A and B are shown apart, each in its own frame.
Chain A
Amino acid sequence: MSEPQKKTVDIEEMVNRQEWWWVAEKKRSKRLDYLRKAVWKKGALGGNYAPGIKVDMEYPVLFTDMWRFWKFDTAIMRRAKAIAHVLDNISIFITDKAQLVGYMGSKPHTILWRVDGASIVNEELYNEPGIHEDPEAESLEKVAEINAYWAGQTAVDKVARVLDPEDAVKFLSGAIGWGAPTSAYGYSGKDYEYYMTGKRAFEAIIDEIDKNIEDAENKTIGVPGPDIIPYYDKIQNWEAMKLVLEACIRYANRYARLARIVARHFETDEDRKVDLEKIAQTCEQVPARPPRNLHESLQYDLFIQILARFEAHEGAWPARPDYYHGPYYDNDVNVEKIITRDEAIDLIGEFMIRAYEVGGFAPRWAREGLQGITGTWVWTLGGVKPDGSDACNDMTVAMLQAARLVRVANPTFGFRWHPRVSDEVMREIFECIRQGLGYPSMRNDPILIANAMHWHGHPIEEARLWLHQACMSPCPPTKNGFQPMRMASATANCAKIIEYALHNGYDYVVNMQMGPKSGDPTTFENFEDFFGAWVQQMEWLFSTLVRTVNLARSKDPEFFGRPFLSGISERAVESGLDAVSPEGDRGNCWITAFTWVENIDSLAAVKKLIYDDKKYSMAQLIDALQNNWEGHERMRLDFVRNAPKWGNDDDYVDDIMLRCLREAARFSKVIKCPSGNNWPILPENVSANIHYANIVGALPNGRRLGDALYDGGVSPGPGLDKKGPTAVLKSCAKIDHITDGRAFLLNQRLSPTQAAGEKGYQLWKAYIKTWADLGIDHVQFNIVSDKTLRAAQKDPEDYSEVIVRVAGYSAHFVDISRKTQDNIIQRTVQGF
């Protein structure tokens, strides 16, 4: 048997055994295989960084030195000069065999430390074992010195001084939400329509800025009056934008120079010399001038994401690669045939690997809440164009194929499904899901476009351009539609709503009065009284979290302005206001509603067993909960088994879901963002259901303190959706996915056997048609058997590449904690 035939047989056997990770290894090119294996994984294993990952010390030293030096400058100019100093001086490298360059650290195994973000994070970094470069004592000394300098003047320190003290204490308890109210950390939207459509790049933007500065300076030497006063600050902002954009061009040119030096003086392989010359030419073109081909387009996009992370800790990577890079792909592969399809897939695969490589230091709560990844890089594929026509193209297919070859857990894809998506694309999507990637998630485009118009008033042409700002929330990448920073501190641990309704606003886990005193539930006469307490706690929770974000958004042009983000945002370049200013932002806010469904199942259990059947008294329930159900196991099982559960098409509990959502939707229009727009809720969890397991007390749905919470969004509790996938969909379809909230995450686990072959595809396609017809906005799938997952627990080294969908993101199964692993295995395996 010849070698190629043997390879074919091997692959077939692996396909039969559904060992997709080995299939990928065999199928990908040698270059892609090397790059995939050479990458340093930055996502935390459970809550800890992998061995070998170290904090980069060049960035904090360079940044801090220059910040100190320019102490008499305005804050925005200090930041701009400090960033420029980093870009001009940080060590750079080119990975062997790579075609794309740029990293946010001086070495590939390092993670960036955002020194000016939060003192509390800086202290945590100091105390985190294993991440400081050797000699450790020397590194720690340097860290301590930097911490001492920044203490009291980070972005969070500044906002904390103006927050209401009671709000601050409750927020910092860690019980009700997470994140930080600052533009230093969060999910930063981008104005792709400004810089990524080929019309302009940095040189052209600098020309626009120069003209604006000149016009403004003419005003400031004109007739004195109140109208010229704002221009003094605007000139500072424009100067800062220009300074950083010029430094970005120099940063790219440093790579061009390095590539040529390596090619001319060190490289002996002739093919690699050609690669390096191409890298040099690419970095001379972008980001200075618009890209001319796919390679330059991907490099331009990558540079922008890296450069943004030199300025802020961006926890998301909003992108729509097929839409913005697709025309270059089409020209290079189909029209001018500059590169082959395989070469294009290599480039795309490498683009994904470079994104996977990105990582910054995150506090433990963030690592536990996003186990296995460093942020939610959910890239958007498919969808429609502004005129409503199908936006899928050859690059859509190439992205899906490249994903199966590189099998990274980050980025993942969210696919905008609409009725005109071709069968070819649907098959490619299904192949990714069948091969266990856990992505793309499926998003219902017509519903979400209508939703964006309903909640935030985005015009239809802009709404049709939407992409995922983080895991789930759509955001138009347009001048007034993009949100510069979605601060994660509007993330609510919603299980506390029911917990506080049961305990008169008192939190027995952190031992303090948190919510309002909504009444002693043992005195309530009926369910309506109890539900009234729930509404009171819900309104308090959402208000407390939203207040912190609103304040920070209003103060951040002063506390944490972003000259780079401003420089790539049309409204900032045009107006001279910093990008994080709420002025000109239409507002695209949402409250992430973690641990939502616990409320529904708990309210249903209370209604059924306390008020309707009167089987137990409220006093008995509260006693059992305060004892964490210890000694009350029969009663606990009664509350689990004999109270209706969400996800079984049972109106008794489904009506409670609708009632809760509609109360939240009503209140979402009462609370406003600084732009005056609404704050709809978005139920989803990432892996916060594990993070909050030891923070949420016992609940009437039968969980104890310590148990994982449900996996999130509107997904039924694991093992509690007993009536099959159609019943789950029918429950979810009772929700109005346009007016009841911003989006609703739904996890489903399917049988790998049923997904096999053509029949599997047809079954899945029929399922998706039903899902779409029912108007549900989201669904994502795990198709990995118990057998594989249990084997991976037992022999992790043999299954290091198995990927699972956690919630809103994917992770390598072996990178998540045992508790999270078990939570995924516990999910109901649905059959078609």
Chain B
Amino acid sequence: MKCINCQYEDESKNFRYLYNARIDSSISMRQCPKCLSTIAVDELTFEVQQVVGPGEAPWGKSAGVESLADDYQKAA
């Protein structure tokens, strides 16, 4: 696994597992042991998808009728 923030590369088990982004998705939050960034990882491929900053939601929209809310409509 390779951190896209600091390019540190190591076995996936050394990137501390934090918690899932959503239980029915393969995306989880892990922590880079070098730069300590919270990163979103696809657990199927171990590809790092993004560095997760405040207010960012790697799982995308919440489940449900999100298209009914104005912010969701804008996002769509």
Chain A interface residues toward B at CB < 8 A? 628, 630, 633-634, 636-637, 640-641, 693, 701-708, 717-722, 724, 749, 751-754, 785-788, 790-796, 819, 822, 825-831
Contact = CB atoms under 8 A, between A and B. Distances in A.
Contact of B72 (A634, A637, A786, A794): A786
Interface of B: 12-13, 17-24, 26, 28, 43-44, 53-57, 59, 61-66, 68-72
Given A707-B19, A708-B19, A717-B23, A633 B43 contact: yes
B13 A829 contact: no
A722 B65 contact: no
A826 B55 contact: no
A643 B12 CA distance: 28
A831 B57 CA distance: 21
A353 B71 CA distance: 33
B65 A751 contact: yes
8 contacts: A630-B17, A633-B44, A640-B23, A722-B63, A786-B71, A819-B18, A826-B62, A829-B63
B70 A753 contact: yes
B71 A637 contact: no
B69 A753 contact: yes
A706 B23 CA distance: 12
A826 B22 contact: yes
B63 A719 contact: yes
B35 to A, nearest CB: 18
Contacts of A831: 64-65, 68
A829 B18 contact: no
B65 A702 contact: no
Given A721-B63, A829-B65, 11 more contacts: A704-B20, A706-B19, A707-B19, A719-B22, A719-B24, A719-B62, A719-B63, A751-B65, A751-B68, A786-B72, A819-B18
A829 B22 contact: no
Query: Considering the complex of A and B, which 4 residue pairs feature the smallest CB-CB distances, nearest first?
Result: A831-B65, A794-B55, A787-B71, A829-B64
A749 B69 contact: no
Contacts of B65: 724, 751, 754, 829-831
B19 A822 contact: yes
B75 to A, nearest CB: 8
A637 B22 CA distance: 11
Contacts of A641: 24
Contacts of B64: 749, 751, 828-831
A718 B65 CA distance: 14
Given A633-B26, A719-B24, A786 B70 contact: no
B61 A786 contact: yes
Contacts of B44: 633-634
A722 B20 CA distance: 18
A780 B17 CA distance: 32
A754 B69 CA distance: 7
A795 to B, nearest CB: 8
Contacts of B53: 794
B18 A706 contact: yes
Contact of A828 (B12, B13, B62): B62
Contacts of A717: 23
A693 B19 contact: yes
Given A640-B23, A719-B24, A751-B69, A827 B62 contact: yes
A712 to B, nearest CB: 15
Residue of A633, A693, A717, A792 most packed against chain B (CB within 10 A): A633
Contacts of A633: 26, 43-44
Contact of B19 (A628, A630, A819): A819
Contacts of A634: 44
Contact of B23 (A718, A753, A796): A718
Contacts of A637: 24, 26
B54 to A, nearest CB: 5
A707 B22 CA distance: 9
Contacts of A794: 53-55
Contacts of A705: 17
B29 to A, nearest CB: 8
A637 to B, nearest CB: 6
Nearest to A702: B23
A634 B42 CA distance: 12
Contacts of B23: 640, 701-703, 707, 717-720
